[in-house]
Amino acid sequence: MSTILKITKRELMGYFTTPIGYVFIIVFLPFLWYMVFQKNDFFALQNASMDTVFSTMPLIFLLFIPAVGMRLWSEERRTGTIEILLTLPISIAQATIGKFLAAWIFILITILSTLTFVVSLNNLGSPDNGVIFANYIGITFVAGAFLSIASFTSALTKNQVISLILSFLLSFGILFLGDPGVLEVCKAIAGYLHLPVNPVIDFVGSFGFYGHMINLQKGIIDSRDIIFFISFISVMIYLNILLINKQKAK
């Protein structure tokens, strides 16, 4: 455990001792600001709510997180430092979890930098802080899930651009998996393969992030959503470990 924490600390410091972390935050916040105040005219809505902030964040994260995650393993492989890492007296699991946690904490810091919106809303009116808190939990889990995908795709290839595109496509697909349009396609495929349509749709739909964010967006913390996100992240990290192990064996 202490090894994981050491790796996490070292990796986290990496975000703040190089310009990359600052660039991400300084680009992320004005973009979000533009979406909230300029594009959606926050004051015209006359409502003390952070709906616009939280509905915009997953879309920004679709690009932002693959960009953060692409360097987790691809960078190590490109520069050859992965060879050194694999010879250190740490396990692959420890290295993978440590790197993932560091990136997740960095994203969490980015998320928390939107707390100025909470301060402003409480100053301007009486927002429902319960709903805001639940949304923060939701967005943290969505970010973690996107990051686990990005970490996995980063381990697949040493080309960072391919990793970014792959993780963007996967994240995009899973974010909208519960979308009726996607489900209609699944329905057609299930019909073609003579599979029971409704169970297939329910099963596929249950993987969509969108469906698991609805309750949290409303202000409800549901154990089903939390279990889903934790198990999703865990599976992706485990697959990531298997992948690195496979590369080590080579």
Partner 1 sequence: MKRNYNTIAAIAVIIVAILLNMVGNKFFAKVDITAESSYTLSEGTKKILDDLAGPITLKLFSSKISTENKTLLNQIEIPVRIIKEFIKEFNEYSESITLEIIDVELNSDEEDTAENYGLQGAPINSMDKFYLGIVAINMDDPDKEASIPFISPNMDAFKDLEYKISKLIIEITKIQKTKIGVISDLPMVGNNIPPQIAAQMGKKSQKPWQFIEALKFQYDFVSISKETNRIEKDIDGLIIAHPKGLKDNILYAIDQYLLNGGKLLVFVDEVCVADTPPQGQDPRMAQGYSKSSDLKKFTTSWGLTRNPGQVLIDAKSSLETPMGRIHALFQGNKSNFPEDGKITKGLSNIEFFIPASYDYKSVEGIKTEVLIKSSNRYGGVSSMQLLRTPQKGWYDLTRPLLKDVTEKEPTGLVYRFTGKFKSIFPDGLKKDDKEAKNPNRLKESTGNPSVIMISDVDFLNDSFIARRDQFGRPLNANFVFVQNLIEFTMGNESLISIRSKTSTMRPLTKLDDIRQKADEKRQKEIEKHIEDEKELSKKLKEFKFTVVNGELKINITPEQQVKMDQLKKKRKEMRKKIRNLKYLTTKEVDAEKLSVKVFNFAFFPIIFLILGLVVMFYQRGKVSNNG
Binding site for partner 1 (CB under 8 A): 16-17, 19, 22, 25-26, 29-30, 33, 36-37, 43, 46-49, 113, 116-117, 119-120, 123-131, 133-134, 180-181, 184, 206, 211, 214-215, 218-224, 227-228, 231-232, 234-235, 238-239, 242, 245-246, 249
Nearer to partner 1, 159 or 215 (CB): 215
DSSP codes joined into one string, 76-89: HHHHTHHHHHHHSS
Nearer to partner 1, 18 or 79 (CB): 18
Identify whether the C-beta of residue 106 lies closer than 8 Å to the C-beta of residue 12.
Answer: yes
Closest distance to partner 1 from the beta carbon of 187 (Å): 9
Closest distance to partner 1 from the beta carbon of 156 (Å): 14
Q: Which phi-psi region, left, alpha or beta, contains residue 179 (left: φ > 0; alpha: ψ -120 to 50)?
A: beta
Closest distance to partner 1 from the beta carbon of 231 (Å): 4
Closest distance to partner 1 from the beta carbon of 14 (Å): 12
- How many C-beta neighbours within 10 Å does residue 160 have? 20
Closest distance to partner 1 from the beta carbon of 139 (Å): 15
| Dist. CA 49–CA 40, nearest whole Å | 13
Closest distance to partner 1 from the beta carbon of 11 (Å): 16
Nearer to partner 1, 161 or 188 (CB): 188
| Dist. CA 120–CA 117, nearest whole Å | 5
- How many C-beta neighbours within 10 Å does residue 176 have? 14
Nearer to partner 1, 50 or 101 (CB): 50
Nearer to partner 1, 146 or 232 (CB): 232
Nearer to partner 1, 172 or 238 (CB): 238
Under DSSP, is residue 46 helix (H, G, I), strand (E, B) or coil?
Answer: coil
| Dist. CA 11–CA 80, nearest whole Å | 17
Considering only the C-alpha atoms of the chain, give the largest distance between any 2 of them, rounded to a whole number of Å. 60
- How many C-beta neighbours within 10 Å does residue 94 have? 20
